[in-house]
Structure 1
Amino acid sequence: MSEIRPFRIEIPQADLDDLHARLALTRFTHEIAGADQGVTVERVKRLVGYWRDGYDWRAQEARLNAYPQFTTEIDGQNIHFLHVRSGNPDALPLILTHGWPGSVVEYLAAVEPLSRHFHLVIPSLPGFGFSGPTTELGWNNLRIAAAWAELMARLGYERYGAVGNDAGSMISPELGRVAPEHVVGVHVTQLFSFPSGDPAEFADLSEEEQAGLAVLDWFWKEKGAFNVLHSQQPQTLAHAIADSPAGLLGWLVQLFDEDLDDDFVLTNAAIYWFTGTAGSALRLYWENARAEQPKQPTTAPTALAMSEGDFASIRRFAERDHHGIVSWKTLDAPAHGHYTAHTATEALTSDIRAFFDGLR
């Protein structure tokens, strides 16, 4: 068994100096006023200016280092994770999984409230951040779920819950599939189930379901280009975003809500930049596009806690793919957007706690 090694983030000052120099030399692109063609020059200029002259990486580094961190090798891949034990030795462990363009930073605000009741394991996805680039093919959702099962076993956890957002909302149900005797429940913020194409699925859609389909249709037509590019040619894009911090920002912030605070956005971007994983993280889409899809639904007890302004999950499609759904809700306002662990921490963590308390 591979050893578990303590880890501390210590970005060399030379890397910060190099970043500052690159930001100072940014060549901004041209745009036509009034045309919605993607992330605006104004937004990128503002973020670049703050990243160069106001943002404090060392403060964010210290915030991350305030929590115990470790690395271990699983299935040939380095895996980085935060491991925060609850003051209650009998607490249920949870493994919390982020997505793209996020990182473990997604869950930092949730650590304190959740660790009162749960032991927390928060890994960086293979190919993301401090887990480093993936070094071989095959790291799709199912393989990551199997790695998470091994990680939890290596930590001595026999029974645990799985929590996820974005890619984590796909990996966490898969963890319930690969380790059903260990996963007591799955809590996610999206259930990515889509129409199969069978006309019968559309026969009696409610107004709410029709509205949800309209949101999905708009998203894929107007903002789905990243998914296509990542799934088809991630390496082509990687050259640009691995070399230009402004280019990296421009690509990432298409999926960072406008109302997110700049420190959250830049800390996620900085992690990709300093670890050299801006390109390797994109491979997850390429891998999943080529992975064999499970033929059977998941059965672990599952809770969905979505929010307005995010992916609109549709229950009839979700129940086709997940037979264990026991809780389905939209978090109350002001919960909004894609990163509720950060922006609506109390609402989301309260729902996580209530769900797992109900299972126990």
Structure 2
Amino acid sequence: MPGRIKQPYLTRRKFCGAAALTCAAAPLGLLGFSNRTEAVTDILKTTTSTSTEIRPFNFTATEADLSELRRRIEATRWPDKETVSDSSQGVQRATIRKLAEHWAKKYDWRVIESKINAVPNFITNIDGLDIHFIHVRSKHENALPLLMAHGWPGSIIELMKVIGPLTDPTAYGGNASDAFSLVIPSMPGYGFSEKPTVGGWNPVRIADAYVELMKRLGYTRYGAQGGDWGSIVVDLMAVKAPPGLIGIHSNMPGVIPPELDAALFRGEPVPSGLSGEEKRAADQLANTYKHIGYAIMMGDRPQSLTGLADSPVGLAAFMLDHDPKSYEMIARSIDGQPEGLTPDDVLDNITLFWLTNTAVSSGRLYWENKSTFFAVKGVNIPVAVSVFPDELYAAPQSWTRKAYPKLVHYNQLPKGGHFAAWEQPQLFSQEVRAGFKSLR
């Protein structure tokens, strides 16, 4: 979630000072700077162009980088054990140590790398920055083009599981008429996209870049889907309502009344007069605002998180602690309980951040942001909303209808959380199909 909210809500520095929270780098252990990004940097240097051409892309991590990753994991200097029996102090030492041991001894990056390279990857220069994206055209006639936008601490990896179900629905129990052709960009500063070297790459600019990307690919009629930062980006695309954008789907919609959003952030009590569903959502959001230390740090001092670029285990702990429900689900998985995400799923994403050295460059998006995250933004094109129960808050239907006057689909799911496409790809794919069915 973002760490900077435009007035009359909160400035970045007020946001940082609003909570007595500090992101400590105690577990990181400074081990020297890695050259692991050379492979990605060299590829971008040899292919960078200011033209509008679309260039093929693939990535293969060097064995030297993977060996160095394992060495650093094994050399981690661990912090003392937490002084409580739960996760109220953050990622528990036993959990991160178990994940680190698996990372160093059993995890195989080549598995996800081969899956990434098995789909068409490209890079194109938009607004002076090289943007990486996956582009999978469906074999089915009349497939609807769909841009899918990820967030933090996610990446293209959190959307890999839904590529098959959405582009080839007949192979997954759907109909050919449900097919999509997918465009999945890496956000600027994330993964294989170029890292901005100057300021200004905020969600509004990213939304503009994504509109340009769809135009450049020749799509004159398309949809957009997003969660986390992606939900902000597709909301902002929808606010501008560019020609061709027929509607959006969100699994993290911005529907909170602005005054209530600001009051809850300030720590004020949940007001009376709300329905049961609205009160539950307000309580959930109030609780969310108590667990945003990561966003506060990235929203105010992202460059101070040098330790995340130096220690893979420090990076992993920081990324695991996004929200309590997601963390508890991942912790159970690390302990061997079947969950929506496996330890390898989680490590796929963290390893991508590590190999591309994008911990700090991705965090700067929080510093750049001037948009509200959860509050209404003024979308007036068709919108579909899917509410997963373990999301940061469950969007009530009453607020959703007010926020999106052209709501075409609303559904509450029985299972899933913040990383819906990654955790529950079957349910998520069904929701995306249902959300756009009336708009085709």
TM-score category (smaller protein): over 0.9
- Local SS of the residue matching 1:131: coil
- Local SS of the residue matching 2:438: helix
The AA in structure 1 aligned to 2:304 is T
1:228 is aligned to 296
Q: Find the partner of 1:288 among 369, 372, 376.
A: 369
1:241 is aligned to 308
Q: After alignment, is 172-181 or 149-158 more displaced?
A: 172-181
Number of residue pairs matched? 355
1:4 is aligned to 54
Going from structure 1 to structure 2, the CA distance change for 1:342 and 1:215 (only over 3 Å counts) comes to same
Cα deviations across residues 224-249 of structure 1 (Å, max 9, x unaligned)?
Answer: 11121111111112x01011001000
The AA in structure 2 aligned to 1:327 is H
CA contact (8 A) 1:149 1:179 kept: no
Provide TM-score, normalisation by structure 1: 0.93
How far is the alpha carbon of 1:13 from its aligned partner?
A: 1.3
The AA in structure 1 aligned to 2:121 is Q
Instruction: Kindly report which structure 2 residues correspond to 1:295-314, keeping only aligned pairs within 5 A, or say none.
Output: 297-312=378-393, 313-314=395-396
CA contact (8 A) 1:77 1:135 kept: no
Q: Distance in 1 between matches of 2:157 and 2:56?
A: 19
Q: Distance in 2 between matches of 1:34 and 1:296?
A: 41
How far is the alpha carbon of 1:183 from its aligned partner?
A: 0.8
- Local SS of the residue matching 1:62: helix
Instruction: Kindly report which structure 2 residues correspond to 1:23-172, keeping only aligned pairs within 5 A, or say none.
Output: 23-30=73-80, 31-34=82-85, 36-116=88-168, 117-172=179-234
Going from structure 1 to structure 2, the CA distance change for 1:86 and 1:290 (only over 3 Å counts) comes to closer
Q: Does 1:18 align with 2:78?
A: no
Residue ranges of structure 1 left out of the alignment (5+ in a row): none
The AA in structure 1 aligned to 2:281 is G
Going from structure 1 to structure 2, the CA distance change for 1:346 and 1:294 (only over 3 Å counts) comes to closer
Q: Distance in 2 between matches of 1:211 and 1:355?
A: 25
Q: Distance in 2 between matches of 1:8 and 1:101?
A: 22
CA contact (8 A) 2:52 2:125 kept: yes
Q: Find the partner of 2:236 among 174, 178, 198.
A: 174
Provide TM-score, normalisation by structure 2: 0.76
Residue ranges of structure 2 left out of the alignment (5+ in a row): 1-50, 169-178, 264-269, 331-338
CA contact (8 A) 1:302 1:325 kept: yes
- Identity in percent: 38
- Local SS of the residue matching 1:353: helix
Going from structure 1 to structure 2, the CA distance change for 1:179 and 1:9 (only over 3 Å counts) comes to farther
Higher relative contact order structure (alpha carbons within 8 Å, sequence separation ≥ 6): 2
How far is the alpha carbon of 1:320 from its aligned partner?
A: 5.0
CA contact (8 A) 1:231 1:289 kept: no
CA contact (8 A) 2:203 2:371 kept: no
Q: Find the partner of 1:212 among 276, 281, 284.
A: 281
Q: Find the partner of 1:266 among 344, 347, 350.
A: 347
1:278 is aligned to 359
Going from structure 1 to structure 2, the CA distance change for 1:296 and 1:14 (only over 3 Å counts) comes to closer
CA contact (8 A) 1:297 1:321 kept: yes
Cα deviations across residues 164-194 of structure 1 (Å, max 9, x unaligned)?
Answer: 1111111112112234321111001011343
Instruction: Kindly report which structure 2 residues correspond to 1:312-323, keeping only aligned pairs within 5 A, or say none.
Output: 312=393, 313-319=395-401, 321-323=403-405
Going from structure 1 to structure 2, the CA distance change for 1:171 and 1:354 (only over 3 Å counts) comes to same
How far is the alpha carbon of 1:295 from its aligned partner?
A: 9.7
How far is the alpha carbon of 1:325 from its aligned partner?
A: 2.3
CA contact (8 A) 1:132 1:277 kept: no
CA contact (8 A) 1:173 1:300 kept: no
Going from structure 1 to structure 2, the CA distance change for 1:263 and 1:157 (only over 3 Å counts) comes to same
Q: Distance in 1 between matches of 2:218 and 2:156?
A: 22
